[in-house]
Amino acid sequence: MVKLAKVDSVSITSNIEKQFEEVSSAFLHESKLVDQFRRHKRKLRISLTDRCNFKCSYCMPDHPTWLAKHDILSFEELYKFCEVMVKLGITQIRLTGGEPLMRKGVVNFINTLNELRPLGLQRISLTTNAYYLEKYAVELKQAGLDDLNISLDSINPDTFFNMTQKPLEPVLKGIHAAKDVNIPIKLNCVLVYGQNDKEILSLTDWAYQNGFELRFIEYMPLDQPEHWKREKVVIEDEIINVLSSQYSIYKLERSNDPATIYMLNQHFKLGIISTISKPFCQSCDRLRLTATGELFTCLFANSGTSVRPLLENDKEKDLINTILETVWHKKAGYVAYQAAPVRKITMHSIGG
């Protein structure tokens, strides 16, 4: 059970006003995005679209209804939001989806985001299923993308197809195209009992031989309501158990990375994101924006705060106040939401 110390003695309102004054004046690189548990936010994940050409069962409802174009934030609004967030202390922006490469203009948007580097932005990242990556790899590199997270749930074509409803081959081509232009890559695999739980070793062997950093992710209740079951989760300890039959394993000290990092055979880095069995919320430094402009402070939050009207009307001071107040009220994390009513947002809308 995660226990976090709440800051009781500080008045939220005066704190927010004070933070706003500080933001306006100086210290642009220091994070003003702090919650009631003193966790500073450095990472922002932006869902560019809810659309995806895959149909991963742990992510997508059976019958998704896609957002209309006019429902999603324009790139101008997104840039405005990013600019404010970087001024408030965000140093890393990750673009997600749905599948972000399905949104026209994504490369140009990445190009534009580079203008925020002098304000403190350090990394621009993208999470993709890699299906269209072969086409975009060179352009993404030229646009200044710093790194890629690629979903790869199996290296077996049949399992891959069963989990995504798409062939594996274009994905592998996309991965190698990104490698050829030297974009750093992390592979992400969500393990689900009965689907790919028998492929821990084969996927690790493949990543090991091809020199790709791999991360296993515990299956989270972010899919269609009623789909997720605790017994379908392959937990960190089980993964380590399987891997230890083939590899020597050394656990590294925990950092702010959501993954626990292990060294295999003393040189191969493998991460495990264990939200279910070992939540790491006490160090959470992430915020999320949906394609419709809702700011979520946690993957498991039941609702977000809409910032779209403030972006449309260019009300920067109100926008900053709203952001700071929303962040301040961030709950402890996964544990705090377990007793909450059924979620209203699935992974494909919040970007994982």
177 in contact with ligand SF4 (CB under 6 A):
no
The answer to whether the annotation marks 127 as part of a ligand binding site is yes
DSSP conformation class of 347: H
Residue selected from 262, 268, 328, 334 as contacting ligand SF4 according to rule CB under 6 A: 334
Q: How far is the CB of 220 from ligand SF4 (least distance, A)?
A: 8
Pair 280, 334: CB distance under 8 Å: no
Q: How far is the CB of 226 from ligand SF4 (least distance, A)?
A: 20
171 in contact with ligand SF4 (CB under 6 A):
no
The residue (of 80 and 286) whose beta carbon lies closer to ligand SF4 is: 286
The residue (of 58 and 131) whose beta carbon lies closer to ligand SF4 is: 58
CA torsion, points 308, 309, 310, 314, in degrees to nearest 10?
A: 100
Touching ligand SF4, residues 272-311 (CB under 6 A): 275, 279-281, 284, 286, 298-300
3-state secondary structure of 61: coil
The residue (of 310 and 323) whose beta carbon lies closer to ligand SF4 is: 323
The helix or strand, by DSSP H or E, that contains position 14, with its residue range, turns out to be helix 12-25
Helices (H), 48-168: 75-88, 106-113, 133-143, 157-164
219 in contact with ligand SF4 (CB under 6 A):
no
The answer to whether the annotation marks 51 as part of a ligand binding site is no
186 in contact with ligand SF4 (CB under 6 A):
no
Q: How far is the CB of 275 from ligand SF4 (least distance, A)?
A: 6
The answer to whether the annotation marks 189 as part of a ligand binding site is no
3-state secondary structure of 331: coil
Closest listed residue to residue 344, CA positions, set 280, 300, 287? 300
CA distance 352 to 348: 7
Provide the b/e sequence for 99-117 (b: ≥16 CB within 10 Å): bbbbbeebbebbbbbeebe
Please state whether beta strands 260-264 and 268-273 pair in parallel, antiparallel, or not at all (unpaired). Answer: antiparallel
The residue (of 232 and 278) whose beta carbon lies closer to ligand SF4 is: 278
The residue (of 100 and 221) whose beta carbon lies closer to ligand SF4 is: 221
Q: Which residues are annotated as a binding site for [4Fe-4S] cluster?
A: 52, 56, 59, 281, 284, 298
Contact set with ligand SF4 (CB under 6 A): 275, 279-281, 284, 286, 298-300, 333-334
